[in-house]
Copies of this chain bind each other. A is one copy, B any other.
Amino acid sequence: MASARDAEEAAADKPAGPDKRRMILDAAVVAFAKRGFHACRVSDIADEANVAYGLVYHYFRSKDEVLDTLFLERWNVLLEVITEIDHQTLPARDKLYAIASFIVDSYRHDPDLMKVIIVEVTRAANSFGRTHLTAIREAYALIAGIVEKAQADGSFRDAVTPGFAALAFYGAIEQVLTGWIFDMLPRGDEEFDQAKAFIVETICGGLDAAAIHGTIGRPPEPSDRMGR
């Protein structure tokens, strides 16, 4: 991950080379997380990084590019990790657990970064979400692939399509992170680990006490309430 940076630092022989670009990126995470991308001024980033305003524009073409960089840097790691997990020989359920685990741990490790990624990109349908749609879809496709294989070998039933299962799985994860981001859910090592288990349990095990697996229950009559 940080190998390029390590090499550069070693070559430059600076004990704790400031690496202003990195400082700006890290400061941007804090600033974006605190006030949100729109409300955050470029001067907030510069201040947080203890760096002159103009330097941000030395390293990045625009405020947008700072967020893009932050997102892609991390999302590519996620994509790599999922791919790697998928290549292991593991029950699908364990693969999903490993993925949930990685994402939850990412939040535990750097809540601000994950908050920014989720709130400003992954869920921002009118701005960055659109521009990074391809990368986001890739994650879904990877998860769907895991489900599909499990359905093929019979370890998952095929009551729902793989794409749909991927959506629900990732949706549950993001919703839990959102719960933490909004301070709706208690945070703590115990809660984080419990969340991983609960996510997988909910999506894989289901809620029904007597699940007659294999047959999809025909939907009950729909409610007719339609407002507005």
**Residues of A bordering B, CB below 8 Å:** 1-2, 35-36, 38-39, 74, 77, 81, 84-85, 90, 92-94, 97-98, 101-102, 105-106, 109-110, 113, 115, 119, 123-127, 129-130, 133, 136-137, 140, 147, 150, 154-157, 159-161, 163-165, 167-168, 170-172, 174-176, 178-179, 181-182, 184-185, 193, 195-211, 213-214, 216-217, 219-220, 222-223, 225-228
Contacts and interface: CB of A to CB of B under 8 A. Distances in A.
Contacts of A129: 182
Contacts of A198: 159-161, 164, 168
Count this chain's copies in the assembly: 2
Contacts of A184: 133, 137, 140
A223 B101 contact: yes
B110 A119 contact: no
Given A81-B225, A226-B109, A220 B94 contact: yes
A203 B207 contact: yes
Contacts of A170: 175
A100 B156 CA distance: 23
Contacts of A167: 172, 175-176, 179, 185
B228 A155 contact: no
B175 A171 contact: yes
Nearest to A227: B77
A81 B196 contact: no
Contacts of A154: 209
A142 to B, nearest CB: 14
Given A93-B208, A133-B184, A201 B159 contact: yes
Contacts of A155: 208-210
B227 A1 contact: yes
B199 A168 contact: yes
Given A36-B127, A105-B222, A163-B185, 8 more contacts: A77-B228, A92-B207, A93-B217, A97-B219, A97-B220, A119-B124, A119-B125, A155-B210
A43 to B, nearest CB: 18
Given A102-B225, A130-B182, A227-B106, A174 B172 contact: no
